[in-house]
Amino acid sequence: MELWYTEKQTEQFGITAKIKETLVREQTDFQDLAIIDTNEWGRMLVLDGMVMTTVRDEFVYHEMVAHPALFTHPNPKHVLIVGGGDGGVVREVLKHPKVEKAVLVDIDGKVIEYSKKFLPEIAGELDNPRVQVIVNDGYMHIHDHKNTYDVIMVDSTEPVGPAVELFSRGFYQGIYESLKEDGIFVAQTDNPWFKADLIRTVNRDVREIFPIVRVYGANIPTYPSGLWTFTLGSKTYDPLQVDESAIPEIETKYYTPRLHKAAFVLPKFVEDLIK
Ligand code: SAM
């Protein structure tokens, strides 16, 4: 019998993949967690019916969360990742020798545990000595750590369940206070086809708090609509003022120094959302 997984992106539309094997299916304290193996995308982490990452295309998202901010900040020693329990962003952050410590705060220890077991290509650096893993609510963590981080990355689930508060104005204000005086933050901000209102609202809230706000995009085939956005807020440094010729080449599959500024050039309908 053929089994297919479908992520409903709206009540009328979804994307689907044929399941080779279901490796995990568990209701954790916070969400419905599944790890599915597929022929097309390899292993997939699925939370509450939404694809979080797949072995084949994970590099796009994880590189694009980490590198634009880290190559904008001149001295990113202390980095916080909120969410990100699969370890993909941590792996990319550690490619920056200036990073002395990366703190990962995910609310769900089961995501970390199963990612280490079933997604080693993604989670392989979670035990690196430069990484501190904390199982806690990211909202609480930033409110308890003022003036601490150079860069904060929000690698959260979509705004359902425990991640709802991670898209609130209060959270962005907390991030501002948790950053040092020249800090930068970046958050995944979903897609402009089905979540236009979310991008608009986040942009408005972040603009009220950070003096420099930039939105950039990336193509992620297994995420709803394939076109993903990221919102970057900065106290001092502008990613568009970076000298691309000074960005060192690191091992990546999507991000390049040429792409650093190009990623901020948005299609007109996305530009219109954030005017
Ligand atoms: N890349 C994915 C996407 O955009 O679909 C998200 C990756 S997934 C690893 C996001 C993580 O955020 C999950 O492991 C989840 O447990 C975590 N998370 C959700 N709400 C959270 C909260 N309030 N504090 C910390 N982590 C949270």
Q: What is the ipTM of this complex?
A: 0.98
Contact 254, 64 (CB under 8 A): yes
Known binding site for spermidine: residues? 62, 86, 155-158
Instruction: Ligand 1, residue 65: give the atom nearest the CA.
Output: 1
- Ligand 1: nearest atom to the Cα of 61: 1
155 in catalytic set: yes
Task: Please give the distance of CA 3 from its chain centroid, rounded to a whole number.
Answer: 29
What residue ranges define each of the domains in the chain, with the CATH number in brackets?
4-54 (2.30.140.10), 57-273 (3.40.50.150)
Between CA 167 and CA 229 the distance in angstroms is 14
169: exposed, middle or buried (C-beta count within 10 Å: 0-12, 13-18, 19+)?
middle
CB 78 within 8 Å of CB 50 = no
Q: Is the CB of 61 under 6 A from ligand 1?
A: yes
Q: What is the pLDDT along the chain (275 residues), one digit of tens a residue?
A: 899 999 998 899 999 999 999 999 999 999 999 999 999 999 999 999 999 999 999 999 999 999 999 999 999 999 999 999 999 999 999 999 999 999 999 999 999 999 999 999 999 999 999 999 999 999 999 999 999 999 999 999 888 888 999 999 999 999 999 999 999 999 999 999 999 999 999 999 999 999 999 999 999 999 999 999 999 999 999 999 999 999 998 999 999 999 999 999 999 999 999 98
Contact 10, 194 (CB under 8 A): yes
CA-nearest residue for atom 20, ligand 1, is 163
Ligand 1 centroid to Cα of residue 106, in Å, is 7
Test site for ligand 1: of 156, 190, 230, 231, most ligand atoms within 8 A of the Cβ: 156
Query: With a 6 A CB cut-off, is 108 part of the ligand 1 pocket?
Result: yes
Tell whether ligand 1 has an atom less than 6 A from the beta carbon of residue 65: no
Distance CA 264, CA 215 (A): 6
Measure the N-to-C terminal CA separation of the chain; round to a whole number of Å.
50
Give the whole-angstrom CA distance, residue 103 versus residue 263.
Answer: 26
Residue whose structure tokens are 């954790």 = 28
Q: Which of 57, 108, 150, 155 is flagged as catalytic?
A: 155
72 CB contacts (<8 Å, ≥6 apart)?
184, 232, 234, 237, 238, 239, 242
